[in-house]
Amino acid sequence: MSSAPRALQVLVVEDEASTREELADLLSDIPEVGEVYAAESGARAVQLMGATAFDAVFLDISMPGLDGMDVARVISRLSAPPSIVFVTASESHAIEAFGIGAVDYLLKPVRPERLAESVARIGTTRRAASSGGTDTREPRDELAVVQIDHGRRTVFVRRDEVQFVEAHGDYIRLHTEQGTHLIRLSLSYLEEIWAPAGFVRVHRGYLVAVGWVHDLRVTSSSGLVACTPAGDVPVSRRHARSLKEQLLEAARSGRLGRAAR
């Protein structure tokens, strides 16, 4: 008969005292959580992690000195890194957070039910890691889903549903067949981290998922466009040849025309 899983030992890292105390109290009310530690700065968090083994760190991003992303990078170098949950007032770091390997990304003010979901996810990760003997938190897999919190509403967008991406001022718009989603992020950064998944630059303001392109067409208004079920994407002369080569390679390997499958 297997024993009950050990209660989670967690660390809350938050520079605002009232928010830090509230988050620690909410976590203490969750049955799966055991001891809750708190740090008022990134530097103090690193100190505590040097002396104590944590199962999870609930981490603010905007802090003076070492910010949340700095602390997350320190965590990623530990031999047995705790799970990371970012707790922040802005959704603009969501994709970078999952790229680092975060288990979840919560927007302030945190709702108790969303916090409980995060704790459950951490528990699942720990159990899978113990049964397999390895750390199952893979940055690329986490990055396959973008979580966008809008106050009381949370949207999960799968990367393989995104057909093209459009620059929109300081934001980018993710286009899927079901609709579009706006997130504050650099198109260049997304190009870099989604390139392994088949996203390529086809224009100064656009990326397209090669597997969603069903044909190329020349139009009188936009010139060359890559046609996807979610819409037509302009292709500049500079990127046309490279795109055609990648489409040919995708067709040869059976990765073209996802909509038809």
Q: Which of 31-45, 109-123, 186-200, 243-257 has the lowest mean pLDDT?
A: 243-257
Q: What percent of the chain has pLDDT over 90?
A: 49
What mean pLDDT do residues 201-212 have?
96
What mean pLDDT do residues 33-59 have?
94
pLDDT band at 132 (very low <50, low <70, confident <90, very high): low
- The boundaries of every CATH 2.40.50.1020 domain in the chain are 162-260
- The boundaries of every CATH 3.40.50.2300 domain in the chain are 8-151
Exposed e or buried b per residue across 220-256, where buried means at least 16 C-beta atoms within 10 angstroms of its C-beta: eeeebbbbbebebbbbeeebbeebeebbeebeeeeeb
162-260: CATH superfamily: LytTr DNA-binding domain (2.40.50.1020)
Cβ partners under 8 Å of residue 234, min gap 6: 202, 203, 206, 222, 223, 224, 225
Count CB neighbours of 122 within 10 A: 24
The CATH number of the structural domain formed by 8-151 is: 3.40.50.2300
DSSP character at residue 154:
E
pLDDT band at 151 (very low <50, low <70, confident <90, very high): low
Considering only residues 239 and 170, tell me which one the structure prediction assigns the higher pLDDT: 239
Q: Which of 54-63, 122-131, 136-145, 225-234 has the lowest mean pLDDT?
A: 136-145
Considering only residues 46 and 126, tell me which one the structure prediction assigns the higher pLDDT: 46
pLDDT tens digits along 73-100 = 888 878 789 999 999 987 777 767 777 7
Q: Which residues are bridge partners to 158 per DSSP?
A: 145
Of 114, 96, 97, 98, the closest CA to residue 106 belongs to 114
Cβ partners under 8 Å of residue 48, min gap 6: 11, 37, 39, 54
Considering only residues 138 and 197, tell me which one the structure prediction assigns the higher pLDDT: 197
